[in-house]
Amino acid sequence: MKMTMRKEVVTLKLVGISGALAGDKTSLAVNDVLATAKLLDSAVKTELIDLRDYEVEFATGAPLVDYNNDTWNVVNTMLSADFLVFGTPIYQASISGALKNLFDLLPQNAFKHKVTGIVATGWSEKHFLVPEYQLKPILSYFKGLVPTGNVFIHNDSFNEESDEIIDRDVSERMQNLADEMIYLQQAIHNRYG
């Protein structure tokens, strides 16, 4: 009697966080990664947290229960995700203050056993290393696994009318990011379940 092994279908939840409080580019870029991940693996569930839609309170060091419902819900959605992709515009050669504030609300091991991808948007090619030197260390501090294929998107890569990404190279890099994130998170799930 020949036995066949069934491959277990793992449902993973990918949460995207757009750290921009103005404009659409960052949110659209993060949403593109979510949509691409869903196309690559239909078992992946996705959710977008666009910080423009929430009143996340300023971090004061108080316990999370002391913050408003929006703050509580955003943090708990992030903590319950299997893996995450963070989007930030680059302002003054730095990540957005809204995203940094969100990180200040998290516990130290918030991303343990989670893949944490990065998508950044900006006006200057000189800012392509900001995610590498600012955001990557923050995600690593929270014990997140940061993939190699993170994406910087120059604002010229967007259609001026619709803010749709029109640069094929950027779209391909975003697909590679989504693919790498799924692959890594499935490996982590298989190891730590």
Query: Where do we find the tokens 């996340």?
Result: 56
Domain around 54: 16-192
Flag whether pLDDT at 4 surpasses 80.
Answer: no
8 within a domain of the structure (yes/no): no
N-term to C-term CA, the chain: 30
Instruction: Read off the DSSP letter of residue 65.
Output: G
CATH of the domain at 31: 3.40.50.360
Q: What is the mean pLDDT of the chain?
A: 92
10 within a domain of the structure (yes/no): no
128 within a domain of the structure (yes/no): yes
Sign of CA dihedral 80, 83, 87, 91: positive
Rounded CA-CA distance 20/102 in Å is: 12
Sign of CA dihedral 89, 102, 71, 148: positive
55 within a domain of the structure (yes/no): yes
Rounded average pLDDT over 27-54? 97
3-state secondary structure (DSSP) of residue 165: strand
6 within a domain of the structure (yes/no): no
96 within a domain of the structure (yes/no): yes
- Residue 119 is encoded by which pair of tokens? 């998508």
100 within a domain of the structure (yes/no): yes
Closest to 44 measured CA to CA, from 6, 86, 81, 5: 81
pLDDT at 7: 53
3-state secondary structure (DSSP) of residue 169: helix
48 within a domain of the structure (yes/no): yes
Name the pairing type of β-strands 83-89 and 151-154.
unpaired
Q: Minimum mean pLDDT among 14-28, 97-111, 125-139: which range?
A: 125-139
Rounded average pLDDT over 62-66? 94
Domain count, the chain: 1
Asked if residue 147 lies in contact with residue 135, where contact means CB atoms within 8 angstroms, the answer is: no
Strand locations in 33-160 (E)? 45-50, 83-89, 116-122, 151-154
Instruction: Read off the DSSP letter of residue 132.
Output: I
